[in-house]
Each structure stands twice: as structure tokens, then as C-alpha cells.
């Protein structure tokens, strides 16, 4: 696997690190890739490689790892968002389109149509859901799934390739911004948060669904055992890629805690920052308002 050769290269670098770092410190910093320290420029490339290799079995692996719970989590995210017709929404790192499909279905819900104004219906055509992902393979999988679900011709869905740290959208143009299970893969989380703040309109909401820290005493140990023993083994069996899932589990541990992440969101300029723990902290939904 290409991934294994990269790791070997990294190990060699680490042995020489005291000599190398003194000169390279001026130019780059190191960041975490799971439990390993890597150079920043390499992190996005390595993450890209991870997702290129898992793209085809991404959804299946999600189902297996979470026991199907990830669907409930995403539905909770969408209900918190409370989408409305005419909404301009941006789903970042939403490669395979799970969250975007749910939002679209919620807006087109028949039950809502009855109570609509004439004004509302004209506005319905203005609904736009942008799905942004840095990895084109994930976007392709998403487009295929859209076809299968019947959203293939829906003009509301727009697939965009882009980087969460440098979005190509205008200021104050989005009503909602979601990022589901994507923000821990970003190299500079603060930049992604700042971009989210820039792109949202006044009154827009930022929602982040992410695997987070469990503090409950016994459940924590069970969860750790499950994460480090079961998940990489599953990855090897189903996707043929143990390393990627090892990375996934480690990156969850390195991600800031709920409180710390909430502080980061507040520092980016969001108001009313709250978080909700699902399944005792395995997953947390952070939300913020822009004014």
C-alpha cells in the first residue's frame, strides 16, 4: 500500500528530527496525523490518500462501525438545522452526500407544502445545497448515490470541489453550514471555523457533527477497547485497509474535547455556542450562530 511506504519514510525522518527540525521549523510546523507527528503540508496529502482509498466502502464501513447509528446522528443534525425552502446551505466534507440528501428531503417534504405561501413557493426554486469536498473520489461516490435516490436531476444539489480552509464562496452568502465527521481531518481547525464564519449570513447557523470524547467511567473503557481493537480489524476485513482506520481512531482521540472545541468556535466569532452529546459523548453536535 502506498500508505505504508509513506509511514516508513516518516519514521526515517523522525530519527533525524533534531537536525532537521532546527532548519525546517522556520518554514513549517508539525501537526498530528493520528498519534503520529507529521509536517503540515503532508497532512492534507495523507488525509487525501486515506479518503481516496476508503471512498468506495465509506458508507458500508460507517454502517458497520456505528451499528447503523450514524444515520440517526445525521438525522438529528438535520432536524437541529431546521431547513426551510429557499435555503442556501453548504455542507463541507460531505463527500458522499448523506447530510445533503437529508436536507433536501426535509425541504421537499409534502407535509410542509400545504402550509406554504405563494411567496414561499417562488422561493423554493432558490434552494441550493452545496456539497463541498476536497476529495474528488468522494464527490463521485456522492453523485452516483444522488442518481440512485432520484436527486440526479435536482438543480438544488451542487457538487463543488474545495478546501474547507479556503472556501470559494462569497461572504455572507449561506444560511447554514454543516460539517459532519470532517473537521478533525482539517489541518488548521481555526481556519476552517473562520471560513465558516465568513461565509455565513447574519443569523446563519454553524453545525458540526463530530466524534468526540467520552467521559463516563465504564463506558469510556468499553469505547476505547472497541475503537482500538475492533475498528481497525473491521477495516482490514471489509475495506482491506487497517492503517486508515487506525488513523481514524487516533484522530478522534487527538481532537479537542467538547468544551475546548466550543471555545474555539466562540473565538471564531460565533454566538450562542452550544453542544449536545449523543451516546454519552461518542458523538457531539456543536452549534453556533452568526450575527
Asked if 198 interacts with another protein (CB under 8 A), we say no
Asked if 113 interacts with another protein (CB under 8 A), we say yes
Do 135 and 52 meet the contact criterion of CB atoms below 8 Å apart?
yes
Pick the binder of another protein from 62, 185, 187, 287 (CB under 8 A): 287
Tell me the C-alpha distance between 2 and 117, whole Å: 56
Cell numbers of 23, please? 532548519
Do 124 and 86 meet the contact criterion of CB atoms below 8 Å apart?
yes
Of 230 and 289, which CB lies nearer to another protein in the complex structure? 289
Asked if 274 interacts with another protein (CB under 8 A), we say yes
Asked if 118 interacts with another protein (CB under 8 A), we say yes
Helix (H) or strand (E) holding 33: strand 30-33
Asked if 64 interacts with another protein (CB under 8 A), we say no
Asked if 15 interacts with another protein (CB under 8 A), we say no
Tell me the C-alpha distance between 66 and 43, whole Å: 26
Residue 121 CB, shortest distance to another protein, in Å, is: 5
Asked if 218 interacts with another protein (CB under 8 A), we say no
Cβ contacts of residue 244 below 8 Å, gap of 6+? 3, 50, 53, 54, 235
Pick the binder of another protein from 46, 93, 273, 282 (CB under 8 A): 273
Cell numbers of 69, please? 447509528
Helix (H) or strand (E) holding 277: strand 271-278
| Length of the chain measured in residues | 291
Residue 272 CB, shortest distance to another protein, in Å, is: 5
Of 245 and 275, which CB lies nearer to another protein in the complex structure? 275
Asked if 41 interacts with another protein (CB under 8 A), we say no
Any binding-site annotation on 178?
no
- Return the residues of window 247-266 that contact another protein according to CB under 8 A: 259, 262-263, 265-266
- 3-state DSSP assignment of residue 274: strand
Tell me the C-alpha distance between 93 and 73, whole Å: 16
Site of interaction with another protein (CB under 8 A): 80-84, 87, 113-118, 120-121, 175-176, 200-205, 259, 262-263, 265-267, 271-278, 280, 287, 289, 291
Task: Specify binding-site residues for S-adenosyl-L-methionine.
Answer: 96, 133, 163-164
Amino acid at each position: 500500500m502506498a500508505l505504508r511506504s509513506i509511514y516508513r519514510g516518516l519514521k526515517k525522518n523522525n530519527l533525524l528530527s533534531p537536525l532537521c527540525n532546527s532548519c525546517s521549523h522556520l518554514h513549517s510546523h508539525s501537526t498530528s496525523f493520528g498519534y503520529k507527528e507529521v509536517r503540515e503540508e503532508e497532512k492534507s496529502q495523507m488525509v487525501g490518500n486515506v479518503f481516496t482509498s476508503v471512498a468506495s466502502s465509506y458508507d458500508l464501513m460507517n454502517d458497520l462501525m456505528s451499528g447503523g447509528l450514524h444515520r440517526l446522528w445525521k438525522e438529528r443534525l438535520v432536524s437541529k438545522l431546521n431547513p426551510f425552502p429557499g435555503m442556501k446551505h453548504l455542507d463541507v466534507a460531505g463527500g458522499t452526500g448523506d447530510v445533503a440528501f437529508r436536507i433536501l428531503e426535509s425541504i421537499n417534504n409534502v407535509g410542509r407544502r400545504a402550509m406554504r405561501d405563494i411567496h414561499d413557493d417562488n422561493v423554493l426554486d432558490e434552494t441550493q445545497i452545496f456539497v463541498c469536498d476536497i476529495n474528488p473520489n468522494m464527490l463521485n461516490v456522492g453523485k452516483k448515490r444522488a442518481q440512485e435516490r432520484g436527486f440526479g436531476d435536482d438543480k438544488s444539489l451542487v457538487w463543488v470541489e474545495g478546501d474547507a480552509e479556503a472556501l470559494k464562496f462569497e461572504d455572507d452568502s449561506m444560511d447554514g453550514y454543516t460539517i459532519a465527521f470532517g473537521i478533525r481531518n482539517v489541518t488548521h481547525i481555526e481556519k476552517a471555523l473562520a471560513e465558516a464564519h465568513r461565509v455565513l449570513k447574519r443569523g446563519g447557523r454553524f453545525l458540526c457533527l463530530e466524534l468526540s470524547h467520552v467521559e463516563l467511567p465504564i463506558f469510556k473503557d468499553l469505547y476505547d477497547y472497541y475503537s482500538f481493537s475492533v475498528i481497525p480489524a473491521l477495516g482490514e476485513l471489509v475495506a482491506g485497509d487497517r492503517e486508515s482506520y487506525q488513523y481514524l481512531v487516533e484522530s478522534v482521540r487527538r481532537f479537542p474535547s467538547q468544551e475546548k472545541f466550543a471555545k474555539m468556535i466562540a473565538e471564531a466569532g460565533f454566538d450562542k455556542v452550544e453542544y449536545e452529546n449523543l451516546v454519552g459523548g461518542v458523538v457531539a453536535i456543536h452549534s453556533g450562530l452568526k450575527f
